[in-house]
Amino acid sequence: MKIVSILNHKGGVGKTTFTGSTSQALALVGFKALVIDNDSQHNLSTMLGLAVQSPNIRDVYLSPREEAPQRFLKAIRETDVPGLHCITCPAGMCDADVSDIHFLKQCLDACRLERFYDFVLIDNAPGMDRLQAASIVACHEIFVPTELRQFAVDGIVEMDKMLASNFPHSGKISRIIPNFYRDTIRQKSFVAALQKLFPGKVTQTAIPLDPVFDEVITEGKILFLHRFSSKGAAYYLKLIHELFDLDEEKVWEMVMEKRNDRRRDEARQRFWGAKNNS
């Protein structure tokens, strides 16, 4: 099982969309994935069609240490995407709720999640405080979605130095994912700068600027259920092949199988709906 923290000091770089879309793509191709909404804005929970529920991740942080693993397992909720589960987050969560930045890691270890999941993805708010620190300590590696602007590049450099200084034995930046990509000369220059600063860590797959991501959130829909044929969904399927070293041919075989299963289910629903109305 791999635990990945999705992190960036900057806001508005697409962390939550990345976490939700990546986890959906993993589940679509047959993996068991758990996402943890570690951001009090709880946009990830909303993106996956879940209302904030209790117990949630804040309840876990506030639990006595010996009760935390059981409460963590009770906080896991199913989403409408088969194989994808989520722990929601309430609006009231704050850094003061984290008494010990090692608490989340100890809880995850005690739960022995490798029995149930292939991947755990932790979504974080911008900035760097105790909530983000708990996520860093708990993870095996860090993925950084980023805009392609100078301040964003500078921010990743600063964050990398901070991680090396403050968390020398915890997860490190392993992948940087260009987001909102428009294939301009300026954006290409920022990709080149990142590749020079972080050789081997910048993904070849860049997520394009695509209105589908805003559409599904605005309409309360789920990308891989309601916009499966979109360009954005296709790029995320390509991206997980690169991020997790998956066999691309097998990924697409599994995707097409799931797609055909969904079409057959929709056809059955239309048939029985028409029959019942006749």
What integer pLDDT is reported at residue 259 of this predicted model?
Answer: 64
Angstrom distances, CA of residue 222 to CA of 66, 124, 240, 250: 36, 20, 18, 23
β-sheet with 172-178: strand ranges across: 76-78, 84-87, 33-38, 119-124, 2-6, 141-146, 172-178
Strands (E), the chain: 2-6, 33-38, 76-78, 84-87, 119-124, 141-146, 172-178
**Whether the Cβ atoms of residue 5 and residue 171 lie closer than 8 Å to each other:** yes
What token pair was written down for 271?
């048939």
Query: What's the CA gap between 160 and 142, in Å, rounded?
Result: 10
Checking if the pLDDT of 275 tops 60, the result is no
DSSP assignment letter at 50: -
Burial of 211 (0-12, 13-18, 19+ CB in 10 A): exposed
For the question of whether the overall pTM of this predicted structure is more than 0.85, the answer is yes
pLDDT, average across residues 3-25: 92
What token pair was written down for 106?
């100890």
Q: How many whole angstroms from its chain centre is CA 136?
A: 14
What integer pLDDT is reported at residue 266 of this predicted model?
Answer: 63
**226-249 pLDDT, tens digit each:** 887 788 888 888 899 899 988 767
Angstrom distances, CA of residue 221 to CA of 48, 189, 228: 8, 35, 11
pLDDT, average across residues 150-163: 94
What token pair was written down for 31?
């993996």
**62-79 pLDDT, tens digit each:** 999 999 999 999 999 999
What integer pLDDT is reported at residue 214 of this predicted model?
Answer: 82
Q: How confident is the model at residue 276 (pLDDT cuts 50, 70, 90)?
A: low
What DSSP letter does each residue of 118-136 carry, written as one string? SEEEEEE-SS-SHHHHHHH
pLDDT, average across residues 254-262: 67
Angstrom distances, CA of residue 77 to CA of 35, 85, 112: 10, 5, 17
Contacting residues for 207 by C-beta, under 8 A, at least 6 apart: 14, 18, 145, 177, 178, 179, 180, 181, 232, 235, 236, 239
